[in-house]
Structure 1
Amino acid sequence: MHVFTLTNEATDHVWVGTCREGVSPEARFKQLQKALPLGIDHPFYRELKVFGPDVYSTELFAVVEDRQELAEMVEEALDTYNGKSLVGITTVLPGTTKSSLAPKAKSKPRTSAAKVTAISGAQSRTTKPVKEKLASGRTGSAARERAIKAGIEAEKAAMAAAKAKKIQEEADEMKAILAGLDARGSTLSRR
Structure 2
Amino acid sequence: MMKHGIRYGLVLACFVGVASAAEVNIAQTDFSERVINFAIFLAILWYLGAHRLKALLQARQAGISKRFDEVQSKISVAKKAKEQAQKQLDEARKKASDIITTAKKEAIVIAQRCEEQCSADIESLIKSNESLMAFEQRKAKVELVESVLKELFNSEAADIDTQEYVRILSKKVA
Normalised by the size of structure 2, how large is the TM-score?
Answer: 0.33
Point out the structure with max Rg over C-alpha.
2
Say which structure is richer in strand: 1
Kindly indicate whether structure 1 or structure 2 has the higher relative contact order, using CA contacts under 8 Å at least 6 residues apart.
1
